């Protein structure tokens, strides 16, 4: 019982601290706006959607209470006490925070200078537009009551935590969807597989016709990220080389396309198509050039060196020294677009088709490679380099091949990106591009083509829909990466093989015990 109380209050305190930070991030304000709009809660034009805020507090308290009660569910009394303790800890922390903020605000301290999210309006919002004590009391009450409710709920839901239930439901739903769709059926019947592909292809080629200019542009951006993700998938997912400087090849592609088609700063103007091929070749060449010295390093060293390489490229692009050749911070303007049979492809839709075409080629190529000798060599290398070498695989050669192929795709993506925007500059080639591509790969599922597509839609598409959350996009990405690594390192739609690798020691008691203390490379 005593242990129970301790655990519960510690749990509540942890949730309280996290919620406190969320309030300081200003995330509660944004979220309650969204929730309030969604459920049409009492909207007060002066303070905003305070009903949404109450809802958020209620949900979090409910979750915290049920979580705290999960330690011991022998009777409804213990869960009640757990919920109470966790609720007390949670509400004391949050009320203290609102009280502190409110008091400081009443004393005319401009907190905004230091914590930008805490402006007058946000503070009023946090107190529901009421006086300091009333507002704090409401918060206290909501958190306490719902936490107790959560504790009781946990008892009545028997030995399942609410979160687990949702998670399991979503998993089984996914399985059902998978079973239902073509993906399952084509595994059984080779003919239906082709029909499925045909339908999919038809959808892919028809959907841009139904989208407006803006959505075609967004889809194009997602498409370029899919393209780069597929390229990085070969390097990281298949060959197991962590490349954090992927943007360097993207930049090489973009700048090759830019410099050779724009009138300034280099007065050479060649048509788009030869330049496209040239930028792919140049990027691949750069991949080999970088790869030769660095590919013999240990995995994490490789990550840092590629990161350093990406930064070097970016600093060089920006520097005064290279301005006469690369345009400096202003970048390259007036990049010419492609034309086909004398028809200029300059609408967003045309670019989207171009990108889709590139993606299809890349997928075919990746699939071909994956199931060939080369792909098997890559996977063998990823799983155990020493053994792969012993089996007669020339690891350096295959690593170089992976690096160059990945770089070539990045070059293609860069060239298309530059041509579509008719501009490229140092701001397009920051480290964030590399990180974004890596994120989509990991979230989607490493080594799997559908995973990359899902990942790109989640990471680049969702923020477009949730415009209000733009400020928190990267914050959420970062958290998502960590959470993903802990609960589902293989991604949303993993390659079956990769899943096996990551879960290989599950079930084996001995290996698990060994991995508790030791760690393997």
Partner 1 sequence: MSDPKSKKSAGPINTFRIAQGIILILFLTFLSWRLYTVVSSGVYTPDTWVRFALSGLIIGSVYAVIAIGYTLVYGILFMINFAHGEIMMLGAFSGYFVFEALNFIVVNPNTGANFLDTYWILSVILAFIVGMFISAVCGYFLEKIAYRPLRGAPRLIPLISAIGASIFLQNAAQVTFGPQRRTYNNPDALTRSQGWRIPVGGEEVMLTYTGALTFVLSILLLILLYILVMRTRYGRSMRAVAEDKQTAALMGIDVDRIISNTFIISGALGGAAGVMWGIHNGIIYHFVGFIPGLKAFTAAVLGGIGNIPGAMVGGIILGIVESLGPAALGIDFQLKDVIAFSILVLILIFRPSGIVGEVLSEEKV
CB 97 within 8 A of CB 23: yes
- For β-strands 343-344 and 339-340, DSSP reports them as antiparallel
> Which of 155, 255, 472, 493 touches partner 1 by CB under 8 A?
472
Q: Output 317 or 416, the one with its CB closest to partner 1.
A: 317
Q: Decide: is 173 part of the binding site for partner 1 (CB under 8 A).
A: no
Q: Decide: is 392 part of the binding site for partner 1 (CB under 8 A).
A: no
User: How many residues of this chain bind partner 1 (CB under 8 A)?
Assistant: 61
Question: Residue 332 pairs with which residues in a beta bridge?
Answer: 424
**Stretches 174-182, 223-231, 250-258, 314-322: which one binds partner 1 (CB under 8 A)?**
314-322
**Which SS3 state, helix, strand or coil, does residue 424 take?**
strand
Phi, psi of 423 (to 5 degrees): -155, 145
x/- map, 224-263, partner 1, by CB under 8 A: ------------x---x-x-x-------------------
Q: Decide: is 114 part of the binding site for partner 1 (CB under 8 A).
A: yes
Q: Decide: is 495 part of the binding site for partner 1 (CB under 8 A).
A: no
Distance separating alpha carbons of residues 199 and 292, to the nearest angstrom: 43
Q: Output 268 or 315, the one with its CB closest to partner 1.
A: 315
**Which SS3 state, helix, strand or coil, does residue 181 take?**
coil
> Which of 152, 480, 492, 499 touches partner 1 by CB under 8 A?
480
Q: Decide: is 485 part of the binding site for partner 1 (CB under 8 A).
A: yes
Q: Output 428 or 490, the one with its CB closest to partner 1.
A: 490
**Stretches 35-43, 174-182, 192-200, 312-320: which one binds partner 1 (CB under 8 A)?**
312-320
User: Contacts by 276-281 with C-beta closer than 8 Å and gap 24+?
Assistant: 276/338, 276/412, 276/415, 276/416, 276/419, 279/252, 279/253, 279/254, 279/411, 279/412, 279/414, 279/415, 280/253, 280/408, 280/411, 280/412, 280/415, 281/408, 281/411
**Stretches 40-48, 153-161, 199-207, 510-518: which one binds partner 1 (CB under 8 A)?**
510-518
> Which of 188, 486, 507, 510 touches partner 1 by CB under 8 A?
486
Q: Decide: is 340 part of the binding site for partner 1 (CB under 8 A).
A: no
x/- map, 178-217, partner 1, by CB under 8 A: ----------------------------------------
DSSP state of 71: T
CB 95 within 8 A of CB 136: yes
Q: Decide: is 475 part of the binding site for partner 1 (CB under 8 A).
A: yes
Q: Decide: is 320 part of the binding site for partner 1 (CB under 8 A).
A: yes
> Which of 5, 55, 81, 318 touches partner 1 by CB under 8 A?
318
CA distances from 252 to 20, 248, 416, 453 (A): 44, 6, 12, 24
Residues 272-311 that bind partner 1 (CB under 8 A): 293-294, 297-301, 303-305, 307-309, 311
CB 260 within 8 A of CB 275: yes
CA distances from 207 to 29, 216, 225, 353, 357 (A): 36, 9, 18, 10, 14
Which of 350, 418, 344 has its CA nearest to residue 213?
350
Which of 393, 415, 391 has its CA nearest to residue 402?
393
Q: Decide: is 508 part of the binding site for partner 1 (CB under 8 A).
A: no
Q: Decide: is 521 part of the binding site for partner 1 (CB under 8 A).
A: yes
**Which SS3 state, helix, strand or coil, does residue 332 take?**
strand
Q: Output 120 or 373, the one with its CB closest to partner 1.
A: 120
State the first-to-last Cα distance of the chain, in angstroms, to the nearest integer.
42
Residues 422-461 that bind partner 1 (CB under 8 A): 435, 438, 442
What DSSP assignment string belongs to 128-164? Answer: TTS-HHHHHHHHHHHHHHHHHHHHHHHHHTTT--HHH
x/- map, 26-65, partner 1, by CB under 8 A: xx--------------------------------------
CB 67 within 8 A of CB 85: no
The binding site for partner 1 (CB under 8 A) comprises 21, 24-27, 114-117, 236, 240, 242, 244, 293-294, 297-301, 303-305, 307-309, 311-312, 315-316, 318-321, 396, 435, 438, 442, 471-472, 474-475, 477-482, 484-486, 489, 501-502, 515-521
């Amino acid at each position: 019982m005593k242990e129970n109380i301790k655990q519960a209050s510690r749990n509540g305190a942890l949730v309280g601290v996290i919620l406190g930070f969320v309030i300081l991030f200003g995330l509660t304000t944004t979220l309650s706006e969204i929730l309030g709009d969604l459920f049409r809660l009492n909207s007060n034009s002066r303070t905003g959607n305070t009903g949404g805020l109450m809802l958020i507090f209620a949900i979090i308290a409910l979750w915290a209470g049920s979580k705290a009660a999960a330690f011991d569910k022998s009777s409804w009394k213990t869960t009640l006490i757990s919920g109470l303790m966790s609720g007390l800890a949670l509400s004391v922390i949050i009320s203290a925070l609102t009280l502190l903020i409110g008091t400081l605000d009443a004393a005319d301290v401009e907190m905004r200078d230091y914590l930008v999210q805490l402006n007058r309006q946000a503070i009023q919002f946090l107190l529901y537009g009421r006086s300091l004590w009333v507002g704090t009391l409401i918060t206290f009450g909501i958190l306490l009551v719902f936490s107790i409710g959560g504790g009781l709920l946990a008892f009545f839901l028997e030995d399942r935590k609410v979160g687990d239930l949702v998670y399991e439901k979503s998993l089984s739903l996914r399985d059902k969807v998978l079973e239902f769709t073509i993906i399952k059926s084509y595994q059984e019947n080779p003919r239906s597989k082709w029909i499925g592909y045909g339908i999919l292809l038809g959808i892919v080629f028809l959907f841009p016709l139904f989208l407006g200019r803006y959505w075609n542009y967004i889809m194009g951006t997602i498409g370029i990220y899919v393209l780069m993700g597929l390229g990085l998938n070969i390097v990281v997912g298949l060959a197991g080389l962590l490349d954090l400087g992927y943007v360097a090849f993207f930049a090489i592609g973009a700048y090759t396309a830019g410099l050779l088609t724009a009138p300034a700063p280099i007065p050479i103007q060649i048509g788009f198509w030869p330049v496209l091929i040239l930028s792919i070749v140049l990027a691949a060449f750069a991949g080999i050039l970088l790869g030769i010295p660095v590919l013999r390093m240990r995995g994490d060293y490789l990550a840092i060196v590629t990161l350093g390489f990406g930064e070097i490229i970016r600093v060089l692009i920006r520097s005064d020294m290279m301005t006469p050749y690369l345009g400096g911070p202003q970048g390259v303007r007036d990049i010419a677009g492609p034309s086909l049979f004398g028809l200029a492809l300059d609408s967003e839709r045309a670019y989207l088709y171009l990108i889709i075409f590139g993606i299809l080629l890349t997928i075919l190529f990746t699939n071909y490679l994956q199931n060939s000798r080369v792909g098997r060599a890559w996977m063998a290398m990823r799983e155990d380099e020493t053994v792969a070498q012993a089996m007669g695989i020339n690891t350096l050669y295959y690593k170089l091949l992976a690096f160059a192929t990945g770089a070539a795709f990045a070059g293609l993506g860069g060239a298309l990106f530059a041509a579509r925007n008719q501009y490229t500059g140092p701001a397009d080639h920051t480290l964030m591009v590399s990180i974004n591509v890596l994120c989509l790969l990991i979230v989607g599922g490493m080594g799997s083509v559908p995973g990359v597509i899902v990942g790109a839609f989640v990471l680049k598409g969702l923020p477009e829909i949730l415009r209000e959350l733009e400020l928190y996009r990267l914050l959420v990405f970062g958290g998502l990466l960590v959470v993903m690594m802990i609960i589902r390192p293989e991604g949303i739609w993993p390659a079956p093989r990769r899943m096996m690798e990551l879960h290989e020691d599950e079930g084996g008691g001995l290996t698990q015990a060994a991995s508790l203390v030791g760690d393997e490379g």
